[in-house]
Amino acid sequence: MYSPGEMSGTDIHVDGNIFCLAGRQVMQGLPVGYMYRESPNFSGDSGWRFFTGDESEAYMRDFKNYRICTLEEICMHNRDISAFLHASEGASFLRDKGGTFTAYIVEEPKRQSIPTTLWWKESGERSLPVSGKSGTYKKEEPKYAQAILRHCCENIGAKYRVLRMTHLDFLLFFPNERHGFYTLVSLGMSSRDMHVPKELETLKLSKAELLICVQNNGPVENDLSAGGRLEFVPQMLEQIALAPFLSGNWLGYGHTVPNDSPARPYNNRTKLCGAILDTPRMFDSQFGNLPVDKQEKIHFYAVVPVYREEIELKSRRGADEVLGRIERRCGTLLDLTRRNTAKKLPT
């Protein structure tokens, strides 16, 4: 009989970097009633699988009923499972009528081969309030997800969480010894190629991901959530990332994306009303490009929110002038009330 106190396998620290597979019903809030551990199926996978225990065979065969999530998410609503997470591969537990988990010996569960799309919400076309050559965007499989994740962990930091949005997902990296700020990176924009002008095709600019760096003023998760002062940030990044595919155009260094037309502030806490794409100058130079496939590479662009006057200055003097001013006078971390570098300081 297995006891939760026995260290029979690799100890697992429950944090946002360790993943598992859970049934849809568990993700909707029903308690875990059956769980087992198999060999890992993908990078970062703990091997743990969680279900209510009432799923039918047909339900279990349908991959639409599975979700990838973190062990932390599961343990938040099922605190009693944490004592079992260090069990070895092959362990399985069933909750009895009294609510206690006991070892459950059955034939080895069929290995759940996980499609890449389970990293995401279900793909599907959704109408967007954007006019252009295409009014819909289909959420693509994260073709380069593992390469992007490795690249970011090596250059930004190892601790992160996944933020799931309607059309794209994002990686939120936490402050660390190398970089004392938060970084939000898109995950999936590069799954599709942008329509780059023919004269620029040799530069391999068709694949991109976006990022934004945020000041470390304490835990940022609440600020990014509904009602938070930075609630607009994930929405802004998603809208910018979708823009080239909805318009049939492309984005690159120095491009300006206003918030609506005419440009209006992102919320009532700031007068920032648009963004300019910059190189990720807050990281080492090699971070800006990630080679993939044969001759392809993914370009990482920093999104720098700007004021209306800075957008106008950029149209007259160029992106280098505006971005240089911001870096010298304010820094490139997101600050809702930073100085407007297109205006002279009062004397």
Task: Find the range with the poorest average confidence among 86-90, 115-119, 143-147, 340-344.
Answer: 115-119
Question: Rounded to an integer, what distance in angstroms lies between the CA atom of residue 314 and that of residue 73?
Answer: 44
Residue 16 banded pLDDT, cuts 50, 70, 90: low
92-146 pLDDT per residue, tens: 889 888 888 888 754 444 444 433 322 323 322 333 333 333 334 455 556 788 8
The pLDDT value given to residue 251 = 95
224-240 pLDDT per residue, tens: 887 889 999 999 999 99
Is the pLDDT score of 4 beyond 50?
Answer: no
Query: How does strand 274-278 pair with strand 296-306?
Result: antiparallel
The pLDDT value given to residue 269 = 95
Residue 63 banded pLDDT, cuts 50, 70, 90: low
The pLDDT value given to residue 42 = 63
Top-confidence residue, 222 or 16: 222
Is the separation of the CB atoms in 182 and 175 below 8 Å?
yes
157: left (phi > 0), else alpha (psi -120 to 50), else beta?
A: left
Question: Rounded to an integer, what distance in angstroms lies between the CA atom of residue 342 and that of residue 302?
Answer: 20
What SS3 string covers 140-186? CCCCCHHHHHHHHHHHCCCCEEEEECCCCEEEEECCCCCCCCEEEEE
Average pLDDT over residues 144-163: 88
Stated pTM of the model: 0.63
The pLDDT value given to residue 131 = 33
Q: Give me the count of residues in the chain.
A: 347
Question: Rounded to an integer, what distance in angstroms lies between the CA atom of residue 238 and that of residue 248?
Answer: 16
Question: Rounded to an integer, what distance in angstroms lies between the CA atom of residue 160 and that of residue 153?
Answer: 8
Task: Tell me which range, 23-27, 168-172, 202-206, is most confidently predicted by mean pLDDT.
Answer: 202-206
- Collect all residues with Cβ–Cβ distance below 8 Å to 333 and sequence separation of at least 6: 181, 213, 214, 215, 282
The pLDDT value given to residue 114 = 37
- Collect all residues with Cβ–Cβ distance below 8 Å to 134 and sequence separation of at least 6: 245, 246, 248
Question: Rounded to an integer, what distance in angstroms lies between the CA atom of residue 199 and that of residue 240?
Answer: 23
Is the pLDDT score of 183 beyond 90?
Answer: yes
Task: Find the range with the poorest average confidence among 136-145, 148-157, 256-265, 324-333.
Answer: 136-145
Question: Rounded to an integer, what distance in angstroms lies between the CA atom of residue 150 and that of residue 156?
Answer: 10
